[in-house]
Amino acid sequence: DAGGMTAVPGVVAVGDVARSAGHRAEHWTSAMETAAVAARNLLAGTTVETYSGLPYFWSDQYGIRIQLAGRRGSGDTVRVVEGSPEDRSFLAVYEREGTTTAVLAANRPRPFLRARRELARAGGLAAV
Ligand SMILES: Cc1cc2nc3c(=O)[nH]c(=O)nc-3n(C[C@H](O)[C@H](O)[C@H](O)COP(=O)(O)OP(=O)(O)OC[C@H]3O[C@@H](n4cnc5c(N)ncnc54)[C@H](O)[C@@H]3O)c2cc1C
């Protein structure tokens, strides 16, 4: 479930093996952040807490820091708001019906951080 509990009593699941609230998030951040919540539920013996964090991952690929936060859908539109892919440095937003669902950056860590915080404040998860 959304707190890492499984159908097996005394067993919780996090990280790459887990599907939480219908979503898989196979990234380091997810594995680390969800573990604490699952541990509290394991100790309580029931779901007392669910994951509420905005999905986020980063990766360094060929000299580019790639960061994505939120949960884009297949029908979302993407718009570059800073920089350009040609320059290997940009910030882009994914949108659906006027609402931002995710932010993506390449080599733009500071603008990305601001956009990620704004998305979290706006309840990015609720938007998807
Ligand atoms: C090549 C590669 C690059 C990646 N790059 C990124 C990245 O840039 N950014 C990012 O966010 N994520 C990245 N990931 C994904 C990230 O590594 C995983 O999401 C994360 O490690 C998942 O953590 P985990 O604890 O669920 O699983 P794991 O880190 O896989 O840990 C599972 C552990 O269980 C052990 N194990 C397995 N079976 C048994 C058993 N039967 N008994 C005992 N132990 C067992 C394994 O040896 C392993 O140590 C990358 C993954 C790969 C493969």
- Does residue 128 carry a pLDDT above 70? no
pLDDT at 16: 96
128 lines ligand 1 (CB under 6 A): no
CA 11 to chain centre: 24
Dist CA 51 CA 80 (whole Å): 29
47 SS3 class: coil
CATH number of the structural domain 56-121: 3.30.390.30
Mean pLDDT of 31-47: 95
- Does residue 97 carry a pLDDT above 90? yes
Condensed to tens digits (0 to 9), the pLDDT of residues 56-79 reads 999 999 999 999 999 899 999 999
Mean pLDDT of 68-94: 96
User: Per-residue b/e over 15-48, b at no fewer than 16 CB within 10 Å?
Assistant: beebebeeeebebeebeebbeebbeebeeeeebe
Q: How many CA atoms lie within 13 A of 28 on its CB side?
A: 5
The Å distance, Cα 13 to ligand 1 centre, comes to 13
The domains of the chain are located at 1-52, 56-121
* Ligand 1 atom 26, closest CA: 15
CA 38 to chain centre: 17
35 lines ligand 1 (CB under 6 A): no
